Amino acid sequence: MRPDVGSDAIRPLANHEFEQIRRLAHSSFGLDLKPGKEELVAARLGRLVRKGGFRSFHDYYQHIVDDRSGDALASMIDALTTNHTAFVREPDHFEFLRREVLPKLANQNLVEIWSAACSTGEEVWTIASVMNDVLGPRRGQVVASDISTRALRFAEAGIYPGDRCAGLPAAWLTRYFEPADRLGSAYRVSAAMRGQATFRRINLVGPYAWSRQFPAIFCRNVMIYFDSPTQESVVRRLSEWLEPGGYLFVGHAESLTRIHHSLEYVQPAVYRKPVERKSRWNRSS
């Protein structure tokens, strides 16, 4: 780390520096920083520039490019990405999962669902709770991924302030959570349910692979940050890892009508991969 030269020595973000960061963000993880985001970038990255003792945003950018470990890029991603989420966010999706998807999988010994942009984990534990309600304990598994290492650590710990748990059904708080302190000001996902989730860092615009396909994939409220070509590429890759007849859930602000894809529209923000002749979905649909 360079010696701290003081915040007064840091030069304001110049147009060419914003362009450097914009291109790096787009090429490395698909983030579309449009003109007008200069103040946001300066505010969110300014702390890292100061902490690293860099004299300019260009010096900071060069440090990221030169860092072969990838740690500097990961820190930039954490700073620029928004990890806003909530338990039971967009509840229609979880009702559809409960009513339409999971009953058709009830004969399987293990059902795996991928939460592809899990953020701080509220989506993961909501999916797991619904799976336990419908399938019973230990028959559901959530594989969760995100590009943010910081968000993944938070999600895996499974500890949430009480106000973030306010919207949870009372039965879930009793069954799937436990007090994290004596004051009851925070809750932790139960050890049993934490064992039903695994976490992995995945960049959706980079190379990744799974050993199997999934009957359902949640990838919500992340594609709004991508441009159309990147959205199309991401949806195409997600579709490859979706079982024939399986469902893709996207955010309600993320209609796929403006991009090319092979999925069938089911209802707002829910799409289905066409069913093959020998798919199990044919027998239960």
| Tens-digit pLDDT string for the chain (285 aa) | 444 444 456 899 999 999 999 999 999 888 889 899 999 999 999 999 999 999 999 999 999 999 988 889 888 988 887 767 899 999 999 999 999 999 999 999 999 999 999 999 999 999 999 999 999 988 999 999 998 888 999 999 999 999 999 889 999 999 999 999 877 789 999 999 999 999 999 999 999 999 999 999 999 999 888 989 999 999 999 999 999 999 999 999 888 988 999 999 999 999 999 997 665 555 544
Catalytic residue, candidates 32, 44, 98, 280: 44
* Whether residue 240 sits in one domain with residue 214: yes
Which three-class secondary structure state does DSSP give residue 232?
helix
* Whether residue 108 sits in one domain with residue 60: no
* Whether residue 170 sits in one domain with residue 269: yes
Q: Where are the beta strands (DSSP E) in 76-227?
A: 111-115, 140-146, 159-161, 177-179, 186-189, 197-201, 214-218
* Whether residue 188 sits in one domain with residue 116: yes
In a domain, 155, yes or no: yes
What is the domain-level CATH number for residue 28? 1.10.155.10
DSSP state string for 190-203: -HHHHTTEEEEE--
* Whether residue 130 sits in one domain with residue 16: no
Domain count, the chain: 2
* Whether residue 164 sits in one domain with residue 74: no
What is the domain-level CATH number for residue 142? 3.40.50.150
Q: Going edge to edge, which strands form the sheet with 186-189?
A: 159-161, 186-189, 177-179
Identify whether 280 is a catalytic site residue: no
* Whether residue 165 sits in one domain with residue 29: no
In a domain, 86, yes or no: no
Instruction: Tell me how far apart the alpha carbons of residues 218 and 259 are, in angstroms, rounded to a whole number.
Output: 18
Query: CB atoms < 10 A from the CB of 169, how many?
Result: 13
Catalytic residue, candidates 89, 133, 146, 220: 146
Identify whether 92 is a catalytic site residue: no
In a domain, 213, yes or no: yes
Q: Which of 80, 99, 120 is the last residue of a domain?
A: 80
What is the span of the domain harbouring residue 160? 91-284
